[in-house]
């Protein structure tokens, strides 16, 4: 099912033996557009530390109670390799954390095998060795959804709005759409843009360029944030833009 990332903010994260905090942000890979980690705000429990959770380490989510359970204990989390709350996450830190928990290292795996449950995939020691070579360097492809929110969206012939939210598939944790607020151009209207329609992202200028014209976007199927994004709507959207259906490749 497709869900708004913004709506998942504040969900409770529970360990095997108790709550550890709430979802504060999401870190995604800007090449595959896969959510790699959920960032957890632990409040006064682990002050000054960032806790990140691998989606593959989550048990079956309880969407009714807005609860996400991770299959580790509070003690394991407390004694895990620390991550500073105000610093980017380096590949080495990721490798240390994955090795500590026994989580699969997604950068050594194909897209189809990334979501294998922890413990079923053998860790690659070479990945740890390679990560140690750039110990002080943050992962250049790991982006914060919170930070990218607000980026300008540029069509081929002008600006159309800003990133307001992301729509993620809750089984694969792949981002399927960026929600664009067009209030400075089309008041009261929001549109969806698929990552595959993006031509370029300028991280310094905080700008996303899409290969669509403003007039084409203007008449696209209307997006209602209060209604779920279902397959019927997706078919109308992709057919309107004349783009191949992504789900046909799954």
Structure tokens at 144: 């914060």
Which tens digit of pLDDT belongs to each residue from 48-79?
888 999 999 999 999 999 999 999 999 999 99
Is the domain of 127 the same as that of 17?
Answer: yes
CATH number at residue 222: 2.30.30.240
Total domains, the chain: 2
Q: What is the pLDDT of residue 250?
A: 60
Domain extent, residue 154, equals 149-249
Residues 97-131 have pLDDT tens digits of 999 999 988 887 654 434 433 333 333 343 444 44
* Angle of CA points 9, 11, 16, to nearest 5°: 140
Whether residues 119 and 32 fall in one domain: yes
Same domain? For 55 and 34 the reply is: yes
Asked if residue 58 and residue 12 are part of one domain, the reply reads yes
Q: Which of 122, 143, 164 is the last residue of a domain?
A: 143
Run of H or E residues at 162: strand 158-169
Tell me 152's DSSP state. E
Of 109, 143, 177, which one is at a domain's C-terminal end? 143
Residue partners of 203: CB distance under 8 A and separation at least 6: none
């Amino acid at each position: 099912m497709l869900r708004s990332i913004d709506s998942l903010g504040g969900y409770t994260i529970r360990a095997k033996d108790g709550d550890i905090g709430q979802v504060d942000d999401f870190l995604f890979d800007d090449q595959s557009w896969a959510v790699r980690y959920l960032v957890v705000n632990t409040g006064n429990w682990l002050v000054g530390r960032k806790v990140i959770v691998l989606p593959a380490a989550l048990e079956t989510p309880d969407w009714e109670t807005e609860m996400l359970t991770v299959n580790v204990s509070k003690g394991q989390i407390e004694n895990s390799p620390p991550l500073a709350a105000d610093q980017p996450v380096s590949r080495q830190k990721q490798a240390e954390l994955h090795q500590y928990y026994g989580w699969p290292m997604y950068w050594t795996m194909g897209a189809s095998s990334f979501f294998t449950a922890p413990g079923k995939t053998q860790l690659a020691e070479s990945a740890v060795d390679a990560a140690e070579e750039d110990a002080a360097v943050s992962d250049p492809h790991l982006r914060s959804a919170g930070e990218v929110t607000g980026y300008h969206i540029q069509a081929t012939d002008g600006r159309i709005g800003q990133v307001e939210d992301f729509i993620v598939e809750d089984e694969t944790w792949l981002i399927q759409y960026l929600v664009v607020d067009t209030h400075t151009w089309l008041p009261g209207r929001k549109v969806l843009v698929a990552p595959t329609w993006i031509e370029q992202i300028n991280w310094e200028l905080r700008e996303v360029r899409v290969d669509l014209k403003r007039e084409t976007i203007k008449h696209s199927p209307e997006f209602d944030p209060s209604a779920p994004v279902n397959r019927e709507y997706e078919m109308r959207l992709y057919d309107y833009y004349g783009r191949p259906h992504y789900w046909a490749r799954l």
